């Protein structure tokens, strides 16, 4: 039989609803897999676990949220032989799983993935750190990683809104930056910076209408808003218009992007929903196609060029 390892985060939102693992074993056995389930115990465990797996493992299932998937992809990219990853969403937001066309049923999603195809996907980097779908910076971005876990377990997605309201203020911080793209340098002042390879960000679908996961490119959006009123307008526009067509948003599609902040950062970057702590003021973004993900059959034409 083929070999499958499920790396599961027991703190993920939907994990508490799983009473037994028998159905996981049964489903994977039906598709020809002998399965091992390994639970993470602390941050960074998923990355270490996948690095320690034998090369004869045919499939690794990421059972958790976007942060767990980030750890697994990070560890996989450090391996000499990359393993095939299946993203099984168990978190409270699950932007990646939703973009792939998965739903709220854990076991149905597992079957959908197993019936899909392994496709090479672009993996983005911020300096030397991989990320799956987004690296972003700006006010309220910390909701993704600072919202208390107790709130997320109790209220789900609403917890992020509750935390955001507790941090509400009228003034929006901004950043003076120098950036380089296509061998040209630019200067500007921006309040929000998004580097992404996803059509869905922070629970918002169709942020971009034509994202491809195998085109060796990522999307860059630099937004300049000065106050809460302008931020509210921006959020409304994002829900109705392709970001590249929104006023006060500078948009690029590229495979290499560099930013220098002309003053210290006022907050941390958020990478795939987790905090990225650094004292650096220089960031280089690149992309490489180094691993395969299991993708539902119904989403391949929409998300891939080939």
**pLDDT for the residue numbered 263:** 87
Report which DSSP code applies to 156: T
Query: What number is the average pLDDT over the span 10-27?
Result: 77
Using an 8 Å Cβ cutoff, are 127 and 257 in contact?
no
Q: What percent of the chain has pLDDT over 70?
A: 89
**pLDDT for the residue numbered 88:** 95
Q: Which two tokens stand for residue 262?
A: 């002309």
pTM of the model: 0.89
Q: Mean of the per-residue pLDDT values for the chain?
A: 88
Tell me the per-residue pLDDT of 150-160, one tens digit each, with 9 for 90 and over. Answer: 666 665 655 55
Using an 8 Å Cβ cutoff, are 211 and 304 in contact?
no
Using an 8 Å Cβ cutoff, are 75 and 49 in contact?
yes
Q: Which two tokens stand for residue 91?
A: 């978190």
Which residue bears the tokens 């994990």? 15
Which residue bears the tokens 């107790």? 150
Q: Which helix (H) or strand (E) holds 58?
A: none
At residue 237, φ and ψ (nearest 5 deg) are: -65, -40
Domain with CATH 2.60.200.40 in the chain: 129-288
Tell me the per-residue pLDDT of 76-111, one tens digit each, with 9 for 90 and over. Answer: 999 999 999 999 998 767 889 989 999 888 999 999
Fold topology of 129-288: Tumour Suppressor Smad4 (2.60.200)
For domain 2-115, give the CATH superfamily: Probable inorganic polyphosphate/atp-NAD kinase; domain 1 (3.40.50.10330)
Task: State the pLDDT confidence band at 283, using cuts at 50, 70 and 90.
Answer: very high
Domain with CATH 3.40.50.10330 in the chain: 2-115
């Amino acid at each position: 039989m083929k070999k499958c390892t499920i790396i599961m985060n027991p703190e993920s939102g939907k994990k508490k609803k799983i009473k037994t693992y028998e159905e996981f074993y049964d489903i994977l056995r039906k598709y020809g897999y002998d399965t091992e389930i390994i639970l993470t115990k602390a941050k960074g465990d998923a990355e270490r676990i996948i690095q320690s797996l034998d090369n004869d493992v045919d499939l690794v299932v990421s059972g958790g949220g976007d942060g767990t998937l980030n750890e697994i992809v990070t560890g996989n990219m450090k391996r000499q032989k990359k393993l095939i990853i299946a993203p099984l969403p168990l978190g409270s937001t699950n932007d990646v799983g939703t973009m792939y066309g998965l739903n709220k049923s854990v076991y149905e999603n597992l079957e959908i993935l197993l019936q899909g195809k392994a496709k090479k996907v672009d993996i983005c980097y911020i300096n030397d750190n991989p990320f799956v779908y987004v690296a972003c910076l700006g006010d309220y971005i910390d909701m993704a990683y600072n919202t208390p876990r107790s709130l997320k377990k109790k209220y789900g997605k609403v917890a992020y809104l509750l935390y955001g309201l507790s941090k509400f203020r009228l003034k929006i911080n901004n950043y003076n930056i120098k950036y380089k793209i296509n061998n040209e340098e630019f200067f500007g002042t921006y309040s929000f910076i998004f580097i992404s390879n996803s059509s869905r960000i922070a629970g918002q679908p169709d942020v971009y209408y034509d994202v491809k996961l195998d085109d060796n490119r990522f999307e860059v959006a630099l937004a300049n808003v000065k106050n809460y009123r302008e931020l509210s307008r921006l959020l409304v526009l994002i829900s109705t218009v392709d970001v590249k067509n929104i006023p006060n948003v500078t948009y690029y599609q590229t495979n290499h992007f560099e930013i220098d902040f002309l003053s210290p950062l006022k907050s941390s970057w958020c990478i795939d929903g987790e905090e990225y702590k650094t004292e650096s003021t220089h960031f280089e973004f690149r992309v490489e196609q180094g691993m395969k993900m299991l993708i539902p059959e119904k989403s391949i034409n929409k998300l891939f060029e080939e």
